[in-house]
Amino acid sequence: MVINKTGDRPSIGIDTGTAYSSVAVWQKDRVEILPNKFGNLLTPSYVAFTDTEVLVGEAAADQLLRNAKNTVFGITRLIGRKFSDPQVQESILHYPFEVVCSPDDKPQVVVQFRGETRVFQPVEILAILLSEMRGIVENYTGKEAKSAVVIVPAYFSYSQRQAVKDAGTIAGLTVMRMICRSTAASMAHGLDKKGPERKVLVVDLGGGTLDMSVVAFEESNFEVLGTAGDVNLGGDDFDRRLVDYCVAEFKKAHDRDLRTNPRAMLRLRKACERAKRALSISTETTVELEALYDGIDFHPTITRTQFKSLCADLFDRILWSLQQVLSDANLIKDNIHDVVHVGGSTRIPKVKKLLAEFFNGKSLSRVIEGAAVFGAAHLAATLCSEPSPKLDNYLLLDVAPLSLGVEVDGTISTVMIPRSTAVPTKKTETFSTSQDNQSNVHIQVFEGEGWRIGSNPILHEFKLDGIPPLPCGQGKIDITFDVDANDILHVSATEQSMGVAKTVRIVAGCLPPSEIERMRTEAEHFKYLSERNRLRVEARNALETSAYSLRTAAAERITELRQAIEEAKAIEEISEETLRWLEANESAKNEDLHLKQREVAAALSSLRN
């Protein structure tokens, strides 16, 4: 398909979730969630490397068992993090593919691709998924897609969000805005609501993350009052509890460790995922696995009560986030008008019960599947100033997901912008010098909620030089944090008496332009290889189809000819039999001769037809 690279470009929203990805576009005055080439609205967030190409989505997921070491998934649990992060180490234990540490303590994925050992950063894997979503839009609209609103977990750090932006750049997309999944879903819930202001709590428990947002909406205005979440809590974690239980049961019964067999672990993981879903509608289920290990069949029965016990602490973490989001929004339970649950894991009966009981029996609402990406596309249309009365006066006021603060010369951490502060925002604090005749100050910008020095991730550090010599405490430095609507943070430091100043733009974890360009070029090459292989496969399939059609036509013709030969032989036999009859009946009666004549004429007629 020829893509029009001039003229109007589509406004799109993209959700690259831990388990599934999806994309939506604003078109014909409404949002459309687009199907992939298999006709599905959800694309598995899987990327596989083979001897010939890169596979994405269903094609990658379907070959997981036979190509496990080269099939990458769950990438949102690695992106923008350090290899030494305990949560990264926990995730690695459950991946069949290899993850190694880079010299700067970043996780890297090692695979075999086209006969070579290749090392990829998580940002490159995410870029492949984003590129796939971009391709779905371009194939559907016939227009080039260049910018998008991208959904991220509520508690993604500044480094993780920057990594998402880098992935977008590698995929040929400008990330106009990032929005948390629960906030985006709240927009889908509230867009058609009229009347006085309502406060809605959206709980999104997906495959890999928990997101919560309290949003006040009135007509087309949406104000986020607070967000909370857990980037290490989702459906995968419930699956892992079942997997761990089954591994222990198998060990107890057969004295064998399933973890030594990657293929067995993958089969068990899939079976436990099915069991979790089955327990949403049944009080017990059986995990059915034939010849799981050394020919041993494994059929453990798991009850809903057992499942609740195995996951008790995970449910407690959901409760903790509920309390936190209400606290950040300065609300109590009774202030919430609607409780909306989104994401596959909110179908777990215990989760539904937990939410209902927390809100004293309040009935729960569920929005449409794909609500989050629907909201993201709607926001994209607004940012792109699409001409539509449906977008008039539309306003979204978001909040900072994590606290931002400063440490000056190793003094106590000072929070400049508390989490759940409405953005854009600007805050200035004045700090004093800590020594006599101090000529510079060392400034560290951090992110997080820890109160102790060194307990929060450092986003950036710099020095302000040229401070005039003054007694301890008399030198005054104004430090300003300025966060815009796109989550870009500028930090400035100004010495009051002389006006010495320095401003930095925080780009935590940002890849250098040369590295992004290298990755972008390589991503385009992967896309070219996949497209070339797709065309080759299509040509091969077309040729194979033609060959089968030809073989079928030939077989049908042969059958027809065989039938004709058999009929001709039968007619020949009639002629021979008639001649023998004439020889044997030289004095045959006239009526007998006419009867035989009719038989021969009928045979001759059938032969000519």
Q: Which H, E and C letters describe 401-460, residue by residue?
A: CCCEEEEECCCCCEEEECCCCEECEEEEEEEECCCCCCCEEEEEEEECCCCCCCCCCEEE
Q: How confident is the model at residue 6 (pLDDT cuts 50, 70, 90)?
A: very low
Q: CA of 342: how far to CAs of 201, 204, 213, 374, in Å? A: 11, 5, 11, 13
* Res 451 pLDDT > 60: no
Q: Residue 175's pLDDT is what?
A: 92
Two tokens, residue 150? 């991208």
Q: Tokens 């990594």 — which residue? A: 163
What is the residue whose two structure tokens read 């460790």? 257
- Rounded percentage of the chain residues whose pLDDT exceeds 70: 96
Highest mean pLDDT, choosing among 322-326, 344-348, 445-449: 322-326
Query: Cα–Cα distance between 511 and 516 in angstroms, integer?
Result: 6
| pTM score | 0.83
Per-residue DSSP letters for 121-168? -HHHHHHHHHHHHHHHHHHHHSB---EEEEEE-TT--HHHHHHHHHHH
| pLDDT score of 353 | 92
d(CA 30, CA 108): 40
What pLDDT, on a 0 to 100 scale, did the predictor assign at position 220?
74
Strands (E), 273-337: 284-286, 289-293, 296-298, 301-303
Sequence-distant (≥ 6) Cβ neighbours of residue 500 within 8 angstroms: 464, 465, 466, 467, 494
Q: What's the rounded Cα separation, in Å, for the pair 185 and 179?
A: 10
| CATH class of the domain whose range is 235-313 | alpha beta
Tell me how far apart the alpha carbons of residues 146 and 176 are, in angstroms, rounded to a whole number. Answer: 10
Phi first, then psi, for residue 570 (nearest 5°) are -65, -40
Architecture of domain 400-511: Sandwich (2.60)
Domain boundaries, the chain: 11-233+314-398, 235-313, 400-511, 514-608
Mean pLDDT of the chain: 88
Tokens, residue 342: 């989104």
Least confident of 341-345, 352-356, 514-518: 514-518
Q: What tens digit of pLDDT does each residue of 568-585 get? A: 888 888 888 888 888 888
Note the pLDDT of residue 510. 66
What is the C-alpha separation between 317 and 314, in angstroms, rounded? 5
Average pLDDT in the 242-247 region?
A: 95
Note whether 25 and 34 are within 8 A (CB).
yes
Give the gyration radius of the chain's Cα atoms. 34
| Alpha carbons 284 and 554: distance in angstroms, whole number | 56
Res. 504: pLDDT tops 50: yes
Q: Binning pLDDT at 50, 70 and 90, where does residue 450 land?
A: low
What distance in Å separates the CA atoms of residue 537 and residue 50, rounded to the nearest whole number?
Answer: 14
pLDDT over 90 percentage in the chain: 53
SS3 386: coil
Position 454 scores a pLDDT of: 59
- Beta bridge pairs of residue 462: 443
Tell me if 11-233+314-398 shares its fold with 400-511.
no
pLDDT at 593: 81
With vertex at residue 590, the alpha carbon angle to CA 586 and CA 592, rounded to the nearest 5 degrees, is 80
CB atoms within 10 A of CB 488: 16
Torsion region of 420: left, alpha or beta (phi above 0 gives left; psi -120 to 50 gives alpha): left
* First CA to last CA distance, the chain: 50
Q: Which residues contact 494 (CB under 8 A, 6 or more apart)?
A: 477, 478, 480, 500, 501
**For range 148-156, the mean pLDDT:** 91
Predicted pLDDT of residue 411: 74
Asked whether 245 and 302 are in contact (CB, 8 A), the reply is yes
Fold of 11-233+314-398: Nucleotidyltransferase; domain 5 (3.30.420)
Give the tokens for residue 245. 């239980």
DSSP string, 230-282: ETT-SHHHHHHHHHHHHHHHHHHHHS--GGG-HHHHHHHHHHHHHHHHHTTT-
Do the beta carbons of residue 46 and residue 18 sit within 8 Å? Answer: no
Residue 1 has pLDDT above 60, yes or no: no
Are 9 and 147 within 8 A, CB to CB? yes
